[in-house]
A = this chain, B = another copy of it.
Amino acid sequence: MTAATGTIVAAGITPRAAGFRMPAEWEPHAGCWMAWPERPDTWRLGAKPAQAAFARLANAIARYEPVTMLVSASQWGNAVRHLDPAVRVVEMTTNDAWLRDTGTTFLIDEQGCLGGVDWQFNGWGGLSDGLYFPWDADDAVAAKMCDLERARRFRAPLVTEGGAIHVDGQGTILTTEACLINRNRNPDMTRADVETALCDYLGAEHVIWLADGVPDDITGGHVDNLACFVAPGVVLLAWCDDPADPHYAVSREAEARLLAARDAAGRHLRVERIPMPTPMFLTEEEASGLDRTNPRLSSSAGDRLAASYVNFLIVNDAVIAPAFGVPTDCVAEAILTRLFPAHAIVMLPSREILLGGGNIHCVTQQQPWPRGA
Q: How far is the CA of A76 from the CA of B73 in the complex (A)?
A: 14
B9–A88 touching, CB < 8 Å: no
Size class of the contact patch on chain A: 35 or more
- Chain B residues with CB under 8 A of A31: 2
- Chain B residues with CB under 8 A of A65: 1-2, 4
- Chain B residues with CB under 8 A of A89: 144, 147
Q: How far is the CA of A5 from the CA of B84 in the complex (A)?
A: 11
Q: How far is the CA of A7 from the CA of B89 in the complex (A)?
A: 9
A28–B5 touching, CB < 8 Å: no
The 26 sampled A-B contact pairs (Cβ below 8 Å) are A1-B28, A1-B65, A1-B316, A1-B369, A2-B369, A4-B62, A4-B63, A4-B64, A4-B65, A4-B66, A4-B67, A4-B86, A4-B87, A5-B66, A6-B62, A6-B66, A6-B84, A7-B85, A7-B88, A9-B85, A76-B140, A80-B143, A88-B148, A90-B90, A91-B91, A91-B93
A contact residues vs B (CB 8 Å cutoff): 1-2, 4-9, 28, 30-31, 62-67, 73, 76-77, 80, 84-93, 137, 140, 143-144, 147-148, 150, 316-317, 369
Given contacts A4-B65, A7-B85, A88-B150, 10 further A-B contacts (CB under 8 A): A1-B65, A1-B316, A2-B66, A6-B84, A6-B85, A66-B150, A73-B93, A80-B143, A90-B147, A91-B93
